[in-house]
Structure 1
Amino acid sequence: MLNTNLTRDPRRARLISLLGQYGVLAAFILLIIFGALRYTGFMSEYNFSTFLRYNAMFGLISLGMCFVIITGGIDLSVGSVVAMSSVVAALLSPYGVIVAVLGAVAAGALVGMINGLIITRLNIQPFIVTLATLLGARGMALLLARNQGGVGIDLNNTALTWLGQGDLLRLPVPGVILLIAFIVGGIALRYSPFGRHALAVGGGEDASKLMGLNVNRVLMGVYVLSGALAGLAGMILAAQLGAGQPTEGLGWELSAIAAVVVGGTLLTGGTGSVWSTLVGALLLGLIFNILNFENGKGIISLSPYWQSVIRGGFLLVVVVIQSRTGRSGKA
């Protein structure tokens, strides 16, 4: 009986490991096959371009969130930072594309730096700090747009609009930006000292300090990175809609957290994958894309409000699975 248990446990552990590594990718591929077989136009160039153009913003903030969660932290401010940065990009658009892009990214990075400073210097929990900056960044977005009555600020630069609505080599420009960001992020996490140190800090701050790592510098870096990527997403948002939108980005931080967790990154930190996060973000977007096609068939009719319900339920299921697989792994 003992020998039987010993032979079964390694197999079970290996199965759990494979599910954790490739389960989200398998689900993504299966959904694509399902959509291609069921819906006319699902595999069209228009649907592909629209899907990638819209979900690029969620992918960017998910990339930043991935690095934050790897260190064992959380960043609830990214949705508000997206809105604020979109307004900054719109306000700076008359001064040229470079100024608008750099201004939006710098605005996001500034919020990230504030998060990092308060977390590291005052030793306050990331949840509390980023909740406060969520409110602050949202208020700042509305304040910057006050001359427009709190509504969108139109862009005055067609070149900037191209970054959100244009194509490059028949690919949507936001999708190209997303791919470049994830390539750089994947290389940084796997091969750079910054990535290795982030993983080490997530594995244990005290142990990292004993190893001689500058934990505060690493934490500062991941929050600045998260803010900067949210700022870049805000620029794309303004470019896509042709205006800075101070009221957009509500709940986007939850979408980013869901994408990271679905991609297999543990909320406790210490482990994670950039590419699995990308697949997780695209998987969530694909679910809603399929729901839109299903609504078009007239068999079911789900309002947009159901997206939040489905996203929350999906996240809860994944967290429960992670918890159970984690216990099995320890056993």
Structure 2
Amino acid sequence: MAVTHPSRTLLSLARPLFGHGALIALVALVLFAAFRYDGFLSAYNVSSFFRYNAMFMLIAIGMTFVIVTGGIDLSVGSVAAMASVVAALASPHGLLAGLLAGALAGAAAGWINGLVITRLRVEPFVATLGTFLAARGAAQLLSGQNAVSVDQAGAFTRLGQGDLLGVPIPLILTLVVLGAGSVLLRFTRFGRSALSIGDNEDASRLMGFNVDRVKLGVYVISGLLAGLAGVILASQFGAGQPVEGVGWELTAIAGVVVGGTLLTGGRGSLAGSMTGVILLGLIFNVLNFENGKGVISIDVFWQNVIRGVFLLLVVIWQSNRTRAGRP
């Protein structure tokens, strides 16, 4: 009878945890921060954290759909800024008008991305970079290069600033989108097609999947959710922000990749992406608490450096595991 070495047994037991590294890191960071900072688990900090990070969670959901097909969307930050301006301009007509205007503006940008990629055969990096510039310019033109105040008399600001049963409305909206997106990705032909395209596009065509239609769909989803994030931005801060959204695409991509989605496509989950986004947001939340203690002082520019280095390290780690044939 063969005897299994104890170290191999331990490794086999621990292997399932390797695919959940982001979740383990998230739990460890929460426990560390809870013991170190008095107000970390306060209702105010938890509520503020999810109210603000709901925008990045929405963008990451859309980015996950794009990346699992092997694509990329660099335009989401600019599209969110443009949508925030459009929503602010429409807000005097009511909450629904502002919500629909901003979301549809984002969906239109995503539709343009999808058409350029599928019909003109332009690489996603180049196509979405063009939309990134165009959306930023449109935001500046529509706003006159100034923040656009939203209607304060109506209910529009409640979308970003209000609570429902003590839970921030942006978080509730994000959880609804997360649930719908998870069903779409895992239990529908569209979702299975998206994963298949990222794994092998040529094989997907031979299997009868409408590759171009699915690609167009994922970019519309990404644009729509970026637009929805822009609506929340305008509602939360009381104004459309034409210069906001810088680096949001990096945050979304980092969160998606940290959550286990392959940049090459074919594998990913929305739950993993949410874990990645929350982990990244929590890191900066902890750094803010450290700033308050006077231990360190990290401004927004260093935060972008940290995001970039963190993403680079995760991509290198992911690449090494892929080359080694490990999941």
Using structure 1 for the length normalisation, give the TM-score: 0.94
Look up the match of 2:201. 205
**Match among 307, 311, 327 for residue 323 of structure 2:** 327
Identity among equivalent pairs (%)? 57
**Match among 95, 98, 102 for residue 97 of structure 1:** 95
Check conservation: 1:71, 1:202, Cα contact below 8 A.
yes
Partner Cα distance (2:203, 2:5) in 1: 32
The CA deviation at 1:228 is 0.1
Which consecutive segments of 4 or more residues in structure 1 shift more than 4 A? 3-17
The CA deviation at 1:18 is 3.2
Check conservation: 1:16, 1:325, Cα contact below 8 A.
no
Structure 1 gaps of 5+ residues are none
RMSD: 2.0
Partner Cα distance (1:213, 1:5) in 2: 46
Deviations 1:61-98 (A, max 9, x none): 00000000000000000000000000000000111111
The CA deviation at 1:196 is 0.7
> 172-181 vs 9-18, which deviates more?
9-18
Using structure 2 for the length normalisation, give the TM-score: 0.95
Partner Cα distance (1:9, 1:204) in 2: 34
Check conservation: 1:53, 1:173, Cα contact below 8 A.
yes
Look up the match of 1:88. 86
For residue 258 of structure 1, give the secondary structure of its aligned residue in structure 2: helix
The CA deviation at 1:289 is 0.1
The CA deviation at 1:191 is 0.6
C-alpha distance 138-16 of structure 1, shift in aligned 2 (>3 A):
farther
Look up the match of 1:153. 148
Partner Cα distance (1:81, 1:4) in 2: 59
What one-letter code is carried by the residue in structure 2 that aligns with 1:124? V
Look up the match of 1:110. 108
User: How is 1:169-184 mapped onto 2 (pairs within 5 angstroms)?
Assistant: 169-184=165-180
C-alpha distance 116-11 of structure 1, shift in aligned 2 (>3 A):
farther
C-alpha distance 75-6 of structure 1, shift in aligned 2 (>3 A):
farther
The CA deviation at 1:12 is 6.0
Q: Does 2:122 match 1:124? A: yes
Look up the match of 2:274. 278
Tell me the number of residue pairs that the alignment of Structure 1 and Structure 2 aligns: 325
The CA deviation at 1:179 is 0.9
For residue 72 of structure 1, give the secondary structure of its aligned residue in structure 2: coil
C-alpha distance 152-310 of structure 1, shift in aligned 2 (>3 A):
same
Structure 2 gaps of 5+ residues are none
C-alpha distance 330-165 of structure 1, shift in aligned 2 (>3 A):
closer
What one-letter code is carried by the residue in structure 2 that aligns with 1:326? T
What one-letter code is carried by the residue in structure 2 that aligns with 1:214? N
User: How is 1:11-160 mapped onto 2 (pairs within 5 angstroms)?
Assistant: 15=14, 18-20=17-19, 22-146=20-144, 150-157=145-152, 158-160=154-156
> 135-144 vs 302-311, which deviates more?
302-311
Look up the match of 2:160. 164
What one-letter code is carried by the residue in structure 1 that aligns with 2:291? N
The CA deviation at 1:329 is 2.1
Look up the match of 2:309. 313
**Match among 189, 200, 208 for residue 193 of structure 1:** 189
> 38-47 vs 5-14, which deviates more?
5-14
Q: Does 2:247 match 1:251? A: yes
